[in-house]
Amino acid sequence: MILNPNLRAYVRQHAEDRPGIYRMLGPEKEVLYVGKSVRVKSRLLSYFRAEPGEKSAKLIRNTLSIEWDYVPNEFAALVKEMRLIKRWRPRYNVEHKRKRSFAFIKITREPAPRILPVARILPDGATYFGPFPRPKFLALTLGDLSHVLGLRDCPGTTPIVFGDQLEMFARGRAPRCIRTQTGSCLGPCFGGCVSTDYALKVETARRFLEARSQKPLRLLQGEMEKASVALDFEYAAIVRDRLERLGDLQREVVAFRGRVEGLSFVYRVPGFKGNDRLYLIRKGLVEEDIPDPRGKTGRQRAAKKVEDVFKAPPPEMGALTQEAASEILLVARWFRLREREMDRVLEPDEWLSAYAPS
């Protein structure tokens, strides 16, 4: 254990100026902070020069020991830092730990499923789409989708009684909300529809979110035209706004899926002192990290790994964890801010054709 007064000397003696991840530990060996740098030694020594009152000074004052691991390059440091912060959620970290400005679409696993905007994915058997930016827009637009298809948006505790359920006390129940009374909900709470009809509406919503159906848009278009013919221009404008929002949502679904699909390739990154690496990235997730092969045997091993990763069944985007969603956004941002890095990528088949031994 390296005591606090000796930390600076320990870092100066043992750390190197190379890419890496460092962890600052407290008295109980708890992780107080996780950081990254392309020059670990210089970055760590900078903490000891912090002015009193600065966050860095407070952090180093509470740090009992420091650990670090070297990685080959900045990209590896970025990904590993995020994964460690997500795992440990250190007290002094803000980046990667704060609430994200994105949301998921959830189709609940219930007798009468609902379509909801949620902040995180749970292992509850529901179907998820995303992540998507603009949570407030998402909440408003999913309300539009439920409205046009007649899907419920009531609490999950609401009792469900379909019209085809032979239940002694089902008959005579009254609608539980104004949406059912105005006809914008099928009313599965009081036997207003049969289970198969409701399931068809849920499937329409699912196909819409998968960009395989435009039925909700056609329904709104027809509703807007009827309102215009009836000279109810105020309601026609409301329906028009719903139509525009749902169209934007579907385009966003398609665009996001396209961006993620485009983040599937072999990414070669030069490393510290020749430790060059290949990152096998599939739909924005770093699936494997292997040495850039040299020699026939190395290329054979790398080719086998490339084939295994990219020929396996693709990951389901609807089953993303919050951590995986964060990694996708992190990788997407890396390439968006460093467009020249795309010159280092190859499609899996291109890499195999160029580098796999014949």
Long-range contact pairs involving 302-306 (C-beta distance under 8 Å, separation at least 24): 302/278, 302/355, 302/356, 303/352, 303/355, 303/356, 303/357, 305/280, 306/266, 306/278, 306/280, 306/348, 306/351, 306/352, 306/356
Q: Which amino acid is at 314?
A: P
pLDDT at 172 over 60: no
pLDDT (average), residues 265-293? 96
C-alpha to C-alpha distance for 62 and 47, rounded to whole angstroms:
12
Q: Which of 90, 4, 95, 81 is nearest to 48 (CA)?
A: 4
The DSSP H or E segment spanning 145 is helix 135-149
Q: Answer with the residue of higher pLDDT: 249 or 182.
A: 249
The DSSP H or E segment spanning 158 is none
C-alpha to C-alpha distance for 61 and 306, rounded to whole angstroms:
46
Q: Answer with the residue of higher pLDDT: 270 or 172.
A: 270
- Taken in order of first residue, the domains within the chain and their CATH numbers are 4-88 (3.40.1440.10), 102-258 (no CATH), 263-355 (no CATH)
The pLDDT value given to residue 98:
55
The pLDDT-based confidence of 1 (bands split at 50, 70, 90) is very low
* Rounded alpha-carbon distances, angstroms, from residue 27 to 1, 16, 63, 116: 10, 25, 7, 43
pLDDT (average), residues 132-144? 90
The pLDDT-based confidence of 305 (bands split at 50, 70, 90) is very high
C-alpha to C-alpha distance for 174 and 181, rounded to whole angstroms:
9
Q: Name the β-bridge partners of 106.
A: 116, 128
Kindly report, residue by residue over 230-270, the tens digit of the pLDDT. Answer: 999 999 999 999 999 999 999 888 777 777 788 999 999 99
Which residue reads 């379909």 in tokens?
Answer: 162
The pLDDT value given to residue 320:
62
Mean pLDDT of the chain: 89
The pLDDT-based confidence of 100 (bands split at 50, 70, 90) is low
pLDDT at 89 over 60: yes
Q: Are the C-beta atoms of 41 and 17 separated by less than 8 Å?
A: yes
pLDDT at 44 over 90: yes
pTM of this structure: 0.69
pLDDT at 303 over 60: yes
From the number of C-beta atoms within 10 Å of its C-beta (0-12, 13-18, 19+), residue 284 rates as: buried
pLDDT (average), residues 65-89? 96
The pLDDT value given to residue 4:
59
